[in-house]
């Protein structure tokens, strides 16, 4: 094999990553909310109420941040490895905006109480559709530039459709919820929301499992990978489907949270010797850590200031993105 996987180093990295995630998860569960002086006093000595807050507010919030962060991280890594492009993200090829569009269509225009159960599925469907559309638009053997341009076009259509639907939705609250879908939020979710999200998300993760080796081969170029027995076309569709399932579930629960999928794989890639098979699981941990940390920062603001989590990830992510562009430009010169 070309790649001599250093299993001990990888295990050490994964353990450190898992420890960081665990610490952040615990902080998220038990942190004091800044402005809750009154509630804190009232809570003293009421175990039932504490349990209620813990189970129905803190736990879903931390779990959703953990799982959505992991999904964004691993999908970003898979996308960058598949397209062999450092700027690729699940969002770039339309999957995030497609997922949000699917979920919004069902949620705001659907009627009846059953349909919100199907939200992750609608997200998945929208995500897959948008991604397939980008792929078809760019053509099978397209250059990366064409793919990116096709992604930009599909993203623009999907996000403007999303705004349009929220404008047309019968509910007067819908218009103001554009922010929620474009920036994302993990606040005020229930355990039910988490369970609903979990099913398609796990399916997506399982599909990504075992892609690592093929992705490793792909780093040597498509022809070489082909001679090594990798069916590129099948690999592509498998990853697209996996990302659609996982991102569809994530975005339909939290909205589009930007930059996690872009930044995390870049931060971690040097640590794993640029090897996709090792990058994927580590990016999951990195994404989870980043989103948990962002959610902790969100809650440091007073409760009356409703900062969306995507604002924090973008404030960290955008400068990084700039730096990345500058660095790649230097490398090409």
Residues that bind another protein (CB under 8 A): 33, 35-36, 38-43, 49, 52-53, 56-57, 107-108, 110-111, 116, 169-174, 176-177, 180, 188, 190-192, 303-304, 306
Sign of the dihedral defined by the CA atoms of residues 179, 183, 186, 191, in that order: positive
Q: State which residue, 200 or 255, has the beta carbon closest to another protein.
A: 255
Distance of closest approach, residue 127 Cβ to another protein, in angstroms = 19
b/e burial code for range 69-104 (CB count within 10 A of at least 16 → b)? bbbbbbbbbbbbbbbeeebbbbbbbbbbbbbbbbbb
Distance of closest approach, residue 264 Cβ to another protein, in angstroms = 27
Residue indicated by tokens 């924090």: 312
What is the DSSP-derived secondary structure letter of residue 177? G
Q: State which residue, 121 or 268, has the beta carbon closest to another protein.
A: 121
Q: State which residue, 32 or 140, has the beta carbon closest to another protein.
A: 32
Residue 311: how many other CB atoms lie within 10 Å: 18
Cα separation, 10 vs 8, in Å, equals 5
Q: State which residue, 48 or 229, has the beta carbon closest to another protein.
A: 48
Q: State which residue, 86 or 110, has the beta carbon closest to another protein.
A: 110
Q: State which residue, 107 or 259, has the beta carbon closest to another protein.
A: 107
Q: Is 44 helix (H, G, I), strand (E, B) or coil?
A: coil
Cα separation, 111 vs 126, in Å, equals 19
Distance of closest approach, residue 327 Cβ to another protein, in angstroms = 38
Distance of closest approach, residue 156 Cβ to another protein, in angstroms = 23
Cα separation, 196 vs 118, in Å, equals 8
Distance of closest approach, residue 122 Cβ to another protein, in angstroms = 14
Half-sphere exposure of 274 (CA within 13 A, CB side): 8
Distance of closest approach, residue 46 Cβ to another protein, in angstroms = 8
Q: State which residue, 58 or 236, has the beta carbon closest to another protein.
A: 58
- Evaluate whether 150 touches 126 at the Cβ level (below 8 Å): no
Distance of closest approach, residue 43 Cβ to another protein, in angstroms = 5
b/e burial code for range 34-51 (CB count within 10 A of at least 16 → b)? eeeeeeeeeeeeeeeeee
Sign of the dihedral defined by the CA atoms of residues 110, 114, 117, 120, in that order: negative
Distance of closest approach, residue 174 Cβ to another protein, in angstroms = 5
Spell out the alpha helix ranges (H) of the chain: 7-30, 37-43, 47-53, 59-83, 95-104, 119-138, 144-168, 178-183, 191-208, 212-218, 222-227, 232-254, 260-268, 276-300, 309-332
Residues recorded for the chain: 333
Q: State which residue, 110 or 273, has the beta carbon closest to another protein.
A: 110
Distance of closest approach, residue 283 Cβ to another protein, in angstroms = 29
Q: State which residue, 144 or 300, has the beta carbon closest to another protein.
A: 300
């Amino acid at each position: 094999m070309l790649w001599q996987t250093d299993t001990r180093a990888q295990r050490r990295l994964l353990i450190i990553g898992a420890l960081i995630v665990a610490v952040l998860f615990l902080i998220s569960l038990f942190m004091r909310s800044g402005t809750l002086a009154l509630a804190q006093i009232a809570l003293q000595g009421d175990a039932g109420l504490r349990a209620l807050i813990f189970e129905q507010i803190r736990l879903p919030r931390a779990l959703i941040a953990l799982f959505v962060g992991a999904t964004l991280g691993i999908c970003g890594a898979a996308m960058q490895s598949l397209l062999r492009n450092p700027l690729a993200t699940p969002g770039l090829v339309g999957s995030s905006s497609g997922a949000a569009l699917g979920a919004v269509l069902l949620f705001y225009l659907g009627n009846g109480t059953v349909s919100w159960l199907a939200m992750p599925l609608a997200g998945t469907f929208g995500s897959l559709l948008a991604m397939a559309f980008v792929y078809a638009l760019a053509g099978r053997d397209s250059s990366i530039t064409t793919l990116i341009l096709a992604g930009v076009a599909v993203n623009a259509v999907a996000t403007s459709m999303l705004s349009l639907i929220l404008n047309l939705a019968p509910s007067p609250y819908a218009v103001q919820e554009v922010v929620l879908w474009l920036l994302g939020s993990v606040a005020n979710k229930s355990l039910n929301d988490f369970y609903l999200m979990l099913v398609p998300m796990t399916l997506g993760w399982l599909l990504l499992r075992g892609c690592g080796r093929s992705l490793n081969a792909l780093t040597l170029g498509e022809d070489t990978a082909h001679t090594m027995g990798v069916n590129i076309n099948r690999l592509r569709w498998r990853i697209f489907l996996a990302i659609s399932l996982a991102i569809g579930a994530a975005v339909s629960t939290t909205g589009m949270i930007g930059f996690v999928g872009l930044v995390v794989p870049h931060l971690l890639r040097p640590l794993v010797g640029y090897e996709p098979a090792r990058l994927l699981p580590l990016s999951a941990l990195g994404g989870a850590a980043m989103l948990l940390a962002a959610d902790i920062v969100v809650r440091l603001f007073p409760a009356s200031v409703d900062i969306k989590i995507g604002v924090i990830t973008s404030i960290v992510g955008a400068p990084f993105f700039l730096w990345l562009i500058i660095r790649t430009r230097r490398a090409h010169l």
